[in-house]
Homo-oligomer: A and B are copies of this chain.
Amino acid sequence: MEIAKAFGIVLKKYRTNKGFSQEKLALMCNLDRTYIGLLERAQRQPSLTTIFKICKVLEVRPSEFINEIENIIHQHKK
Contacts and interface: CB of A to CB of B under 8 A. Distances in A.
Interface in A16-59: 45-49, 51-52
Contact of A48 (B3, B61, B63, B67): B3
User: How many copies of this chain does the complex contain?
Assistant: 2
A4 interface: yes
How big is chain A's contact interface, by range?
10 to 19
Contact of A47 (B45, B52, B63, B66): B45
B48 A45 contact: yes
A1 to B, nearest CB: 12
Interface of A: 3-4, 7, 45-49, 51-52, 61-64, 66-67, 69-70
The 4 A-B pairs of least Cβ separation, nearest first, read: A63-B67, A63-B66, A45-B47, A63-B63
